[in-house]
Chain A
């Protein structure tokens, strides 16, 4: 079983829509969780960390459910510029300094 699994996507949504991505992780000892964004043929960039109590950054909300080993990212009022691949990232004691990336979920926001 892979360390991090994500919705396969792609997600095609109209501008203004709300979209949610899900991610599950296999190691219950995982301690740190992140969402990265990767534009087409570009490098990944940190979008936001995910905290146990959930956290929000503008139109983006991240949630963590440790019991179900599940992470989510909600994007409200989608913009064309949100079109990208969203990577779920997990760090656990076994992986040390390495970050475990999911395959990513592709989002296309259309006019």
Chain B
């Protein structure tokens, strides 16, 4: 049973560039959430996708956008990168029928912005 997979695992970008991160949810899951975890901090909610639509958004600027595909996989896009966007980006999948608090996280994509 494949868990949540994310790609790439590491990447380095420069300020002003754009990045796309990808996520495949755990088998049987239909909901994907994205979290940003800065060094020494807890994960912060970016947004959640369900039925190919953004169901809820956290306190992040419009530079952060996403998409969910019919196979439930998802992308996170960040435009006009800032140094402060350097963080671990975590994708979490869940099932609408499961425990609200039980998220299954991928290993994350570690983004460094220079």
Contact = CB atoms under 8 A, between A and B. Distances in A.
Interface string B35-61: 100001111110010000001101000
A60 B105 CA distance: 22
23 contacts: A32-B100, A32-B101, A33-B101, A34-B101, A34-B102, A42-B107, A43-B107, A43-B108, A44-B43, A46-B102, A49-B99, A49-B101, A49-B102, A87-B43, A91-B100, A95-B45, A98-B33, A98-B56, A99-B43, A99-B45, A99-B101, A101-B43, A103-B42
Contacts of A102: 42
A66 interface: no
Given A96-B56, A97-B33, A103-B40, A46 B101 contact: yes
A71 interface: no
A64 interface: no
B90 interface: yes
Given A97-B48, A98-B33, A99-B43, 15 more contacts: A32-B100, A34-B101, A34-B102, A42-B107, A43-B105, A43-B108, A44-B105, A46-B101, A89-B101, A96-B56, A98-B45, A98-B48, A98-B56, A103-B40, A104-B42
Contacts of A89: 101
Nearest to A106: B40
Interface residues of B, number: 22
Interface residues of A, number: 23
Interface of B: 33, 35, 40-45, 48, 55-56, 58, 90, 99-103, 105-108
A34 to B, nearest CB: 4
Looking at B43, B101, B106, the one whose CB has the most chain A CB atoms below 10 A away is B101
Contacts of B42: 4, 87, 101-104
A45 interface: yes
Nearest to A50: B101
Contacts of A32: 100-101
B41 A103 contact: yes
Contacts of B33: 97-98
Contacts of A97: 33, 48, 55-56, 100
